[in-house]
A and B are shown apart, each in its own frame.
Chain A
Amino acid sequence: MATLTTVGLIIDALLALGLMGLAWRVLANPDLFKAIVLFIAFGLVMALSWVRLEAPDIALAEAAIGAGLTGALLLGAFAKLRNAQTVAAVETSGTAHGTAHGIRSIALLIFILLLATGLGYVVWSLPAEDIGLSDAVAAHLDTSGVSNPVTAVLLNFRGYDTLLEMMVLLLALLGVWSLGDTAVHRESAPDPVLDTLSRTLTPLLILVAAYLLWAGAHAPGGAFQAGAVLAAAGVLLLLTGWRLPAALAAQPLRLVLVAGPAIFLALAVVTLLMEGRLLQFPPAWAGRLILVIETAATISIGVTLVALFRGAPPADEDRQ
């Protein structure tokens, strides 16, 4: 088995080098479109690295959100930018011009090199074995209500962070909605292949999201990964030109968006009143409570991510 560990080491070295090389190409490529596409590839190689680092939950989240959704957001913004400007203006990589800035760029380079060397040295001199918190988590895992340690940490031990994270998602959506103009939607028949693809995939994606949500309790998965798969279904529908009917786009949409954080917050207040500590789940109820929170969170996260991709707020009747 020694050959297996050497092969593993070689793969790890190759992946790490590949990541650094890809990042260089992403940041130094003069063509912005190529840079964005390379960034999506970078995200997928990162997903491979997460698998090598024994972090399958992160791999799922990175592939769906980090590579997929971020790539879709970047490409959409690039397309809107290119429509509004001449191509030449967009392609400007715009590094500082003129020799007066030569000194500044050299100073910046030296600073970055010093920072990188210092950080690298600090990281390298860390102890090779550090048990961290994995023992503490393993000791309390049976009182947490789930058997996947990452889900236990996310929704029970560090549930407060997850509550705040969902608030952050909602805040970002509020920001995007206050800044975007209500887009005019032109009715156009989608390409029949795209149409068929979305019709086939959307129910399957919803099923996969439900499976990921359920499996998150005992296997890699969970609310964020399931929400990201739901968001993928929503983005696919948006790309075929489908829009939410106006009746659903006003109150029901806002209700669904708020439902996840609201239920989580309500549970936090209830546990505060009943147990004296915020988000202190009683061990007998913990599994069921986590499932309730995760279900609401999945739907909210999926809809929020789709709304973030759409960018424009839904047209309101009482808005001028």
Chain B
Amino acid sequence: MIDYLTFVLLIGGGGFFLAGTVGLVRFPDVYSRLHALTKADNVGLGLMVAGLAVQAESWAVVGKLLLIWMLVLLAGASVSYLVAQGALQRRIRPWQR
């Protein structure tokens, strides 16, 4: 029963990662790509962490998994901000239709 829950959560997380990657490949400029990447990957990782936390043996392991997710959120947000800053400094214009 727990295994099926893990299965569903992991596949769901993988689906979000796939969506983020499709966005990375198909979006027209760096800003929208960053948007797709960080948002989708954060949710995807959250679902995967949830799937693994269900299988964990103790609360300490769940805590460590949550810490990993928090760290990826923090790093992803900061790095995407820095990349967008760098792109603005290089005068890369956001895509206009």
Query: Is there a contact between chains A and B in the complex with CB atoms less than 8 Å apart?
Result: yes
A200 closest partner in B (C-beta): B74
B78 closest partner in A (C-beta): A197
Give CA–CA (A162, B75) in the complex, Å.
33
Within A178-215, which residues are at the interface with B (CB < 8 Å)?
A: 191, 193-194, 196-197, 200-201, 204
Contacts of B82 in A (CB 8 A): 191, 193-194
Give CA–CA (A193, B75) in the complex, Å.
10
Contacts of A193 in B (CB 8 A): 78, 81-82, 85
Interface string of B57-78 (1 = CB under 8 A from A): 0000000000000010011001
Give CA–CA (A194, B81) in the complex, Å.
9
A205 closest partner in B (C-beta): B71
Contacts of B74 in A (CB 8 A): 197, 200-201
Give CA–CA (A75, B75) in the complex, Å.
19
Give CA–CA (A200, B75) in the complex, Å.
10
B19 CB to nearest A CB, Å: 19
Contacts of B78 in A (CB 8 A): 193-194, 196-197
A235 CB to nearest B CB, Å: 13
The interface centre, meaning the residue of A196, A197, A201 with most chain B CB atoms within 10 A of its CB, is: A197
A320 CB to nearest B CB, Å: 37
Inter-chain contact B75/A191, CB cutoff 8 Å: no
Inter-chain contact A197/B85, CB cutoff 8 Å: no
A211 closest partner in B (C-beta): B64
How many pairs of residues, A versus B, come closer than 8 Å at their CB atoms?
17
Give CA–CA (A201, B70) in the complex, Å.
11
Give CA–CA (A73, B96) in the complex, Å.
36
B20 CB to nearest A CB, Å: 15
Give CA–CA (A204, B78) in the complex, Å.
16
Give CA–CA (A250, B74) in the complex, Å.
35
Contacts of B71 in A (CB 8 A): 201, 204
B87 CB to nearest A CB, Å: 14
Contacts of A196 in B (CB 8 A): 78
Give CA–CA (A193, B86) in the complex, Å.
13
A206 CB to nearest B CB, Å: 14
Give CA–CA (A204, B67) in the complex, Å.
10
A204 closest partner in B (C-beta): B71
Give CA–CA (A193, B83) in the complex, Å.
12
Give CA–CA (A194, B84) in the complex, Å.
13
B73 CB to nearest A CB, Å: 12
A239 closest partner in B (C-beta): B82
Give CA–CA (A200, B71) in the complex, Å.
10
Contacts of A200 in B (CB 8 A): 74
A41 CB to nearest B CB, Å: 12
Give CA–CA (A196, B82) in the complex, Å.
12
Give CA–CA (A204, B75) in the complex, Å.
13
Contacts of B85 in A (CB 8 A): 191, 193
Contacts of A197 in B (CB 8 A): 74-75, 78
A197 closest partner in B (C-beta): B78
Give CA–CA (A12, B82) in the complex, Å.
35
B86 closest partner in A (C-beta): A191
The 4 closest A-B pairs by CB, nearest first: A197-B78, A193-B81, A193-B78, A194-B82
Listed A/B pairs (7) with beta-carbon separation below 8 Å? A191-B82, A193-B81, A194-B78, A196-B78, A197-B74, A197-B75, A204-B71
Q: Which residues of A contact B (CB under 8 A)?
A: 191, 193-194, 196-197, 200-201, 204
Besides the contacts A193-B85, A197-B74, A200-B74, what 13 more A-B pairs have beta carbons closer than 8 Å? Answer: A191-B82, A191-B85, A193-B81, A193-B82, A194-B78, A194-B82, A196-B78, A197-B75, A197-B78, A201-B71, A201-B74, A201-B75, A204-B71
